[in-house]
């Protein structure tokens, strides 16, 4: 199942720095259709090893990796829609980028540096639109650390490698071991199918 939508926020014009990663992911993607679920495809392995914030079930039966920006309205829409699936065993692993607005890197850093990043992400979403700069409701860090900047840059490179033109971007593995790369925020009628199809990748 491959699904394409236009409900995404355009991030920026991608620099050439991501070309080499894109080539690696393209080669790996060409090989995943016959990969057993017990063997993690290389592109998904790159996501597993990246810095992400988990929300939802602590003992998941379904896992989605989602590239998000703290100021992305479609990411916010998707966050709301996915809440209902947590009780069905869904775990969402959010990979932050900071490209939509000047405050995006600072808000991402505020979430990543919080004692409980999942709680900070929830705060950002629950107070959506409450700040003068719009978007997520968490107060941005004035100057993200070098470590945070490195995380955001690495996640952006991964996002570019998967070919996403903006946020959100969803990646998951199904029970047959096939990797799915989905652009944008799906409609509610499609979301249930996506969640149910998502498997838990092996560690």
What are the phi and psi torsion angles at 171 (to 5°)? -130, 135
The yes or no reply on domain 9-197 and CATH 3.40.50.300 is no
Cα–Cα distance, 7 to 165 (Å, whole number): 11
Contact of 54 with 47, CB cutoff 8 Å:
no
Helix (H) / strand (E) containing 169: strand 169-173
- Read off the DSSP letter of residue 103: T
Q: What is the pLDDT of residues 75-113, one digit of tens each?
A: 999 999 999 999 999 999 999 999 999 999 999 999 999
How many residues make up the chain in this entry? 203
pLDDT value for 148: 97
Cα–Cα distance, 95 to 85 (Å, whole number): 19
Q: What radius of gyration do the chain's Cα atoms show?
A: 16
Q: Is the pLDDT score of 31 beyond 90?
A: no
Domain coordinates in residue numbering, the chain: 9-197
For the record, the structure tokens of 76 come out as 């916010």
Task: Give me the sign of the Cα torsion angle 170, 160, 67, 116.
Answer: positive
**Bond into 168 cis (ω within 30):** yes
pLDDT value for 39: 54
Q: What is the pLDDT of residues 34-48, one digit of tens each?
A: 333 445 688 899 999
Q: Is the pLDDT score of 2 beyond 80?
A: no
Q: What is the pLDDT of residues 104-138, one digit of tens each?
A: 999 999 999 999 999 999 999 999 988 888 899 99
What are the phi and psi torsion angles at 129 (to 5°)? 80, 5
pLDDT value for 51: 97
């Amino acid at each position: 199942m491959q699904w394409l939508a236009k409900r995404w926020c355009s991030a920026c014009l991608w620099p050439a720095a991501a070309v080499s990663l894109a080539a690696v992911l393209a080669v790996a993607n060409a090989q995943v259709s016959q990969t057993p679920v017990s063997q993690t495809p290389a592109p998904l392995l790159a996501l597993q090893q990246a810095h992400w914030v988990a929300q939802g079930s602590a003992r998941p039966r379904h896992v989605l990796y989602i590239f998000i920006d703290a100021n992305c309205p479609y990411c916010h829409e998707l966050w709301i829609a996915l809440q209902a699936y947590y009780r069905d065993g869904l775990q969402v692993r959010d990979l932050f980028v900071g490209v939509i607005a000047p405050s995006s890197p600072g808000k991402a850093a505020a979430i990543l540096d919080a004692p409980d990043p999942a709680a900070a992400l929830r705060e950002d979403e629950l107070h959506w639109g409450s700040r003068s700069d719009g978007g997520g409701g968490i107060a941005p860090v004035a100057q993200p650390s070098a470590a945070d900047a490195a995380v955001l840059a690495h996640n952006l490179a991964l996002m570019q490698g998967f070919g996403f033109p903006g946020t959100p971007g969803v990646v998951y593995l199904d029970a047959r071991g096939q990797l799915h790369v989905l652009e944008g925020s799906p409609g509610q009628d499609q979301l249930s199918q996506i969640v149910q199809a998502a498997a838990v990748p092996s560690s």
